[in-house]
Amino acid sequence: MPTKAKAKSSQLIRGFEPYKETKGEEYMGDPMRAHFTSILNKWKLELMQEVDRTVHHMQDEAANFPDPADRASQEEEFSLELRARDRERKLIKKIDETLQLIEDNDYGWCDSCGVEIGIRRLEARPTATLCIDCKTLAEIKEKQIGS
């Protein structure tokens, strides 16, 4: 069982404190939107720093190895890194779209049924566009179609 100090430490590693609602607070009011804007901007910054690290790593490590096996290993490593960065590039685009939703006051409601997605779900997945019920149904349908 993790201690409170350890749990607090792991939350800080993720870069945010869970949002504490006040009694009678409006869902997705200004303080809540500011909380999620902060989370998304920190996440985007971390991803962009990782892209920079990859570029520098590839420039520093780029070598023309005489041994074909060494060269193939390096090319495979670079290929894996580039695939990971491509996924992160797509995630950065999704983060930008989510930040726009916040700005337009359209953030936090399910695209499918229109109910509140929920603060804890959004903290776990800030780019979520479906409530847990609609997401579960979508995954069930996907499994049935994919089978």
Q: What is the CATH number of the domain that holds 127?
A: 1.20.120.910
Domain count, the chain: 1
- Asked, for residue 11, whether it belongs to a domain, the answer is no
Is residue 15 scored above 70 in pLDDT?
no
This prediction's pTM: 0.78
Give residue 113's pLDDT band: very low, low, confident or very high (50, 70, 90): very high
- Asked, for residue 46, whether it belongs to a domain, the answer is yes
50 is in which domain, residue-wise?
26-146
- Asked, for residue 20, whether it belongs to a domain, the answer is no
Do residues 81 and 58 touch, judged by C-beta distance below 8 A? yes
Tokens read off for 58? 């590839």
- pLDDT value of position 89: 92
- pLDDT value of position 29: 94
The SS3 of residue 79 is helix
- Asked, for residue 75, whether it belongs to a domain, the answer is yes
The SS3 of residue 74 is helix
- Asked, for residue 18, whether it belongs to a domain, the answer is no
- Asked, for residue 8, whether it belongs to a domain, the answer is no
Locate tokens 């870069």: which residue? Answer: 15
Is residue 94 scored above 60 in pLDDT?
yes
- Asked, for residue 4, whether it belongs to a domain, the answer is no
Q: Rounded CA gap, 147 and 145, in Å?
A: 6
- Asked, for residue 12, whether it belongs to a domain, the answer is no
- pLDDT value of position 68: 83
Give residue 10's pLDDT band: very low, low, confident or very high (50, 70, 90): very low
